Amino acid sequence: MDIILVGGGKLIYHLAKKLISKGHFLTIINRDRKQAEDLSREINATVVFGDATNQSVLEDAGAYKADNLVALTQKDHNNLFICKMAMDYFGVERTTALVNNPENEELFSTLGITGIFNITDLVSSIIEQSVVADDVSNLTMIEEGKLSIFQVEVSPDSEACGKEIKEIDLPLTIVLGGIVRNGDITIPRGGSKVQAGDKIVIISLPEEQAEAIKVFGGEE
Amino acid sequence: MKYKNLLISRYYLISKYIGVIIMFAGGAILSPLLFLTAYPEEAALAPHFLLAAGLSILIGFVLYIYGNKHQSEDVELSLNEGSIIVIFSWLGAILFSAIPFITILDMSWTHAIFEVVSGWTTTGLSLVDVTTAPKLILIWRSIMQFFGGAGLAVIALSSLLPVHGMGLYMAEARSDKLLPHVKRSTMMIMKIYTLYTAAGVFLYYFSGMPLFDSINHSMAAISTGGFSTQPDSIGHYNSLSIEVVTIVLMFLGTINFATHYTLLKGKIKIFFKNAEIRLMITLFTLLTPILMFFSLNALYPKLSENFRITFFQIITALSTTGFSTIAFTGWPLFANFIIIIIMLVGGGTGSTAGGIKQYRIYLIFKSIYWEIKEQFLPRRSVSSNYLWRGENKFYVKDQHIKDVANYIILYLFTFIAGVAVHTAYGYSLLDSMFEFGSALGTVGLSIGLISPEAPTGIIWTQTIGMFLGRLEFFIILYAGIKLVKDGIYISKHD
Amino acid sequence: MFIVIIGCGRTGSLLAGNLSRSGHEVVVIEHDPESFALLPVDFSGFQIEGDAAENDILKEGKIESADLVIISTGNDQINYLVSQMAKLNFDVPRIMVRTIDPAVEKMYEKDERVEIFSQISLLAENMINKIEREGMR
């Protein structure tokens, strides 16, 4: 896939490395001469030095041929502009923008930007979740943070300890993915019993995470 | 050469505006004649008003024509020009308003000027014997307070008169904008003001006050003026409902107009966050019990009577209205001292009230609090201190605190000077502080010094005090200095 | 009319001063407080200090009551974002945008709701017309 990446800093550097290692063809557009030079040395990709809000720079970077453009600059308004230009003028099919102001997520989406990374909401939900408890570890995030998969260690004084799954009072929208006991994984059924020290794999919406942790991990 | 022409064109504009406002004042002088429909027996007094109004309109017209001939459309009005316009319009209005008092009541110029200044500045101290004064004179006093409370500049700006400019608005001690255009802002102020006054008339009437008195007192209450048709003010009626109505109206009169607008739009939470509202509530919650239990319980042993009297007097002093239900001469020292302090604090900025104004007092105390607080924060921390004004947070910069502190110092200095004059005439310190504090703060409560027998020097000191207090000192200085500077420049470059 | 002006630079302040003088209610939103000094002495509208690309600041500027919003910062991209916010978030009846780089005009081509005023293009066109007219003589 031909991807154009716009932005600078370490994020672009490591992102570019990762994408290339997965086999994508990359062009990076960067506004800072020194950064552009460093990138060109370290990364096996085309590095274009210029301001991506400038149409001729985008054209030079091969926007006509790109399948995907990812705008990761620090400014929402630049990301919007670059993506819109890419879509409307160069016909790039998929555009992704980094968004700092959560309120812009809806606006950008209405304007046709296909991928939006609401960095603020993402980071804040990670922080919130990591603050909750030590024996909770986040496994992964799906759909830009809209779904959480995480793991909770069952505490001896928790509500759930010693009970069967069907007896535990859980919100209906939580799915129990697995019980890890002594290195073995079992898929939980209604009659499965939960013991202290078990690690429960849970799939839930971020809002419900705290509730689920309370039930299995005990009151903190 | 060019600067001189620029100055001259500005003065034509100034002349035009002063002319317009003085003509309006002339119109106002005619307004009491509307009451001839109710009191036709006073028709003989009409010529006096017509004379005063006629002179005012004539002089105003001359100034207008002179100014209108020469000026071009594009001249901007800064605060300095606005100051000159406000000062001279007020002086003109005062001059012509005094004429009926001289010709009808046979008062001297000193006394007549005192009375009309007390009217326009919404003070309320009086040299007129209200028991014998004709109805037309009484209503004219109340009308002066009604218009004075709104402000001549505000009335001019809100009307169809060809008067424009923020400079004018700010010169009359109005700072907050209700709406994003000065004309609409001033129109809104007039709407709110007139509405409350009309409501006041109804409330008084239905509390048992005769209609004529209701009209007079409502105008004097909302404008926080305090002129009464009775020699013993509101105390004359000895009616709880009338006192309650008065308290409500005085409270409304002392609230900043932008804050009124916030309240009328339904934003109650923001209303109660407002600095002045909070200060007012704090002050009377604190001071009422203190006064009641530490001082006045001897005079008024009955709790309900004590509360009723204390609360009323505190509100009238704080709002700088000047209605009273008792005589302060009978009060203990501590109570009168507290009243003096309250009169110094005064009412809300951008309202009809006087005094140093609550916002300034609140700001200075907040500033002290911030200083102490910052001492305990990390050395390199950055704070943005704010308070609520109208509907928005106002972030306070050091310059602003400096301006406010300067004003308070100037006010207190003037206060000391005026008190010194009074003591020089032989009055006691407390009486001097009370009476002059009342004049400077445009309150109108009296401890008895002001009477037709008082020395001329005292009367003039108080007249000047009322004028300085209402127009907040600085514009008088600005107008004076600008005139001198411009005068010298123009004459040197002939 | 109730007019919100975004950006108090030389253009914005000139517009604000004239419109206020003509009797309109004007609110100016600008992030650099020193720029407000460009407003004329008799400007009687509101001044809001803040980042116009934030919904909260636009609301503080009463954009919901605006009949017209004029977007005139020195940055084409910010102008674009705010124009879309005015259109989609607040449904302002009339939106005027100043554009600086002529290439940016294309971004607004399909946007019927936004009227653009391209400072460089208009100026250049003006001068070229004059040159050609005089050249004919």
Cα–Cα distance between B4 and B378 in angstroms, integer?
55
Contact B78 C41 (CB under 8 A): yes
User: Bridge-partner residues for B486, per DSSP?
Assistant: none
B-chain residues within 8 Å CB-CB of C62? 180
Burial of residue C125 (CB within 10 Å: 0-12, 13-18, 19+) is exposed
Burial B234-256 (b: 16+ CB within 10 A, else e): bbebebeebbebbbbbbbbbbbb
Single-letter amino acid, residue B120: W
Q: Which two tokens stand for residue A135?
A: 């024996």
By the CB < 8 Å criterion, does C44 face chain B?
yes
By the CB < 8 Å criterion, does A17 face chain C?
no
Average pLDDT of the segment spanning A45-71: 91
How many structural domains comprise chain B? 1
Residue C53 has its nearest CB partner, among A53, A55, A77, at A77
Average pLDDT of the segment spanning A131-143: 60
Contact A85 C107 (CB under 8 A): yes
- Reply yes or no on whether the pLDDT at A133 is more than 60: no
Fold of A129-217: Alpha-Beta Plaits (3.30.70)
In tens, the pLDDT along A70-125 reads: 999 999 999 999 999 999 999 999 999 999 999 999 999 999 998 998 888 888 87
Residue C88 has its nearest CB partner, among A54, A88, A107, at A107
Of A179-193, B245-259, B458-472, C76-90, the range with the lowest mean pLDDT is A179-193
- Reply yes or no on whether the pLDDT at C136 is more than 70: no
Cα–Cα distance between B334 and B298 in angstroms, integer?
12
Give the pLDDT score at A130: 63
Q: Which two tokens stand for residue A41?
A: 């040395």
**Nearest-CA distance B301 → chain C (Å):** 53
- Reply yes or no on whether the pLDDT at A207 is more than 80: no
Indicate whether B34 belongs to any domain.
yes
In tens, the pLDDT along C49-72 reads: 999 999 999 999 999 999 999 999
- Reply yes or no on whether the pLDDT at A156 is more than 80: yes
Cα–Cα distance between B171 and A193 in angstroms, integer?
81
By the CB < 8 Å criterion, does C108 face chain B?
no
Q: Are B481 and B365 in contact (CB under 8 A)?
A: no
Contact B180 C41 (CB under 8 A): no
User: Bridge-partner residues for A193, per DSSP?
Assistant: A164
- Reply yes or no on whether the pLDDT at C18 is more than 90: yes
C-chain residues within 8 Å CB-CB of B178? none
Indicate whether B389 belongs to any domain.
no
Contact B166 C44 (CB under 8 A): yes
Q: Could you give the residue range(s) of every CATH 3.30.70.1450 domain in chain A?
A: 129-217
- Reply yes or no on whether the pLDDT at A132 is more than 60: no
Residue B166 has its nearest CB partner, among C23, C43, C62, at C43
DSSP letter for each residue of B275-315: HHHHHHHHHHHHHHHHHIIIIITTT--SHHHHHHHHHHHHH
Give the pLDDT score at B365: 93
Cα–Cα distance between B18 and B92 in angstroms, integer?
9
Q: Are A144 and A122 in contact (CB under 8 A)?
A: yes
- Class of the C2-136 domain? alpha beta
Chains that touch A (3 or more CB pairs under 8 A): C
* Alpha-carbon separation of residue B414 from B124, B173, B476 (angstroms): 20, 18, 14
Give the pLDDT score at A149: 79
C-chain residues within 8 Å CB-CB of B392? 60
Low-confidence ranges of chain B (pLDDT < 70): 1, 71-75, 494
Q: Could you give the residue range(s) of every CATH 3.40.50.720 domain in chain A?
A: 2-120
Indicate whether B250 belongs to any domain.
no
Give the pLDDT score at A198: 86
Give the pLDDT score at B364: 94
Q: Are C102 and C120 in contact (CB under 8 A)?
A: yes
User: Bridge-partner residues for B389, per DSSP?
Assistant: B392
* CATH architecture of the region A2-120: 3-Layer(aba) Sandwich (3.40)
Residue B181 has its nearest CB partner, among C23, C41, C62, at C23
Q: Are C42 and C68 in contact (CB under 8 A)?
A: no
Indicate whether B493 belongs to any domain.
no
- Reply yes or no on whether the pLDDT at A153 is more than 90: no
Contact C107 A53 (CB under 8 A): no
Single-letter amino acid, residue B245: V
| C near B: at least 3 beta-carbon pairs less than 8 Å apart | yes
Q: Are B339 and B313 in contact (CB under 8 A)?
A: yes
Domain that holds residue B71: 1-180
pLDDT band for A52, please (50, 70, 90 cuts).
very high
